[in-house]
Structure 1
Amino acid sequence: DGVTVSLTEARRSEVVCAGILILVCVVSPIIIVLVRNAVNTIQVYASNLAEKARELEYEKELSDSLLYQMLPPSIAKQLKQTQQVPAEFFSSVTVYFSDIVGFTAIAAVSTPYQVISFLNSVYKLFDEKIECYDVYKIETIGDSYMVASGLPVRNGNKHATEIASMALELLEATSMCRLPHRPDQTLCMRSGIHMGPCVAGIVGSKMPRYCLFGDTINTASRMESTGEPMKIQISDDVKKALDKTGLFLTAPRGVVDVKGKGEMSTHWLEGRIGPSPERPTTTSLDCTPSFLARIHSQRSPRYQSGKPRIQ
């Protein structure tokens, strides 16, 4: 009897083990498939997450690039870090103003689209030229173009020569410009330069701008408005600074009645003595932060087709 009971229990255990083995053989492939699908899902999710992270980084760099075009790089970095930029005093800077002679008459015989197209072509030309100099474009107001040197990064005594060299190159470039819709008409520009102290800072919370304040800016604007077509009028202070370098040709204009300043002795900037210094071309000069170079050289796949992918 004991042997019979043992054999019976052994058969039962054998059946149970066989059932368990069959169950394992049936369930294992299902578990393997489920695990494999889970791994694939995690890999796809990780890949999508990495792509989203790259796109987010690209969008961040793109927004930073727009900020760097609106504000000087050093000011933009400070604004991002501290959310505020205190006004700063500069003991000596050089400010340049230019104005298109007869712009009102040109606008009167042109369509709004032609005026915008014309100004855009002129400003794009100027923007390309000034990239080769240690200057910062402050703003454009209508047909007026304003540039300064010596801020927001101080450059010692170089600001006067940088602006003078830039002004001569812009004047030369202007002489070769033609109105797109009036090719027989030559573009004429009037320029003025002054140097002195000023205060600079961020103004406004919406579309903030880097603005300059002080008598130096007003006087530089008067140098332009009281000038003559295709000439660069400079103040006596600028003339003295340029004379110290011995690199520029100037001619006395005489005494000019300047609004708000009275009579001032001014001069014409006529050229350089000897050849102009070689400067990098706009295509080889890297004047932008490193992340902007990455944006232009490694565009996000999301934008390579010309249209953003909607997911």
Structure 2
Amino acid sequence: MTKRVQSYTQKVEMKKRELALEKKRSEALLYQMLPQQVAEQLKLRQQVEAEVFESVTIYFSDIVGFTEIAGKSTPLQVVDLLNTLYRICDDCIERYDVYKVETIGDAYMVVSGLPKRNGVLHCSEIADLSLDILLATEGMSVPHLPEVKIQVRIGLHSGPCVAGVVGNKMPRYCLFGDTVNTASRMESTGEVLEEVAVMYTPIE
């Protein structure tokens, strides 16, 4: 009987360790999708209020000619291309005080200055990140079209914005305001392989 109890106790302890490890993995995945403080509030079923940030810098980038490249590629090749590029970008952002907001198709959106405020450092953090990504992707070719070079176009903008969680089933941390819109326009009208000069929207 003593041996059975000991065996049962060992199994329970092992299951507890496995459960704790799985919980850490789940939380790590959750924190990649949402800011940690936001994720903690949602786990506690608390209402996450939208927040005004007076000074942030927003980064947008995309692949020039992506539609044409996609037209010459299979869906799996497009996924492979984006995975290759996004892994490079993800490695770059690990070195800076920035938060990856989302990726939509070939568009990559990053912000500094939220959800954790960092004074005026957000400008230099995003500017340095932009140069780092340009350097990391320099000379890079489409994996299945080696004659086609990947050209990254980047746009930045600084100013105030509002951030909040949208949705219940698949909540997303979204940014809103003129700063976001202007950063997107800076990217879409920018020069290929050049970092667009930072503009600043004054606080009203």
TM-score range, shorter chain: over 0.9
Q: Distance in 1 between matches of 2:168 and 2:23?
A: 20
> Partner letter of residue 40 of structure 1?
K
Matched, 1:171 2:134: yes
Letter in 2 for 1:212: L
1:150 aligned residue: 113
Partner of 1:42: 5
Q: Which residue of 1 aligns with 2:15?
A: 52
Match of 2:104 in 1: 141
Pairing 1:224–2:165 present: no
CA distance in 2, matches of 1:50, 1:235: 55
2:101 corresponds to which letter in structure 1?
I
Match of 1:192 in 2: 155
Residue 232 of structure 1: SS of its match in structure 2? coil
**Mapping of residues 84-103 of structure 1, within 5 Å:** 84-103=47-66
CA distance in 2, matches of 1:156, 1:76: 23
- Kindly indicate whether structure 1 or structure 2 has the higher relative contact order, using CA contacts under 8 Å at least 6 residues apart: 2
Deviation for aligned residue 1:212:
0.4
Alignment length, in residue pairs? Answer: 201
Q: Following TM superposition, by how much is the alpha carbon of 1:181 offset from its aligned partner in structure 2, in angstroms?
A: 0.6
- Structure 2 portions without partners, runs of 5+: none
Task: Tell whether 2:140 aligns with 1:181.
Answer: no
Mind listing any 5+ residue stretches in structure 1 that lack a counterpart? 1-37, 239-311
User: 1:75 deviation in Å?
Assistant: 2.0
Q: Report whether the alignment pairs 1:124 with 2:72.
A: no
Structure number with the higher helix fraction is 1
1:237 is displaced (CA, Å) by 2.4
Give me the whole-angstrom Cα distance separating, in 1, the residues matched to 2:192 and 2:90. 21
Report matched runs for 1:208-287 at 5 Å: 208-237=171-200
Which secondary structure state, in structure 1, belongs to the residue aligned with residue 53 of structure 2?
Answer: strand
Report the counterpart of residue 79 of structure 1 in structure 2: 42
Give 1:111's aligned residue. Answer: 74
- DSSP 3-state at the match of 1:237: coil
CA shift, 1:95, in A, is: 0.3
Q: CA deviation at 1:51?
A: 1.0
CA RMSD of aligned residues (A): 1.3
CA distance in 1, matches of 2:169, 2:87: 25
Q: Residue 56 of structure 2 contacts residue 161 of structure 2 at CA under 8 Å; is this kept in 1? A: yes
> Percent of pairs identical after alignment?
57
- Write out the 4+ residue segments of structure 1 that deviate beyond 3 Å after TM superposition: none
The TM-score with structure 1 as length reference comes to: 0.63
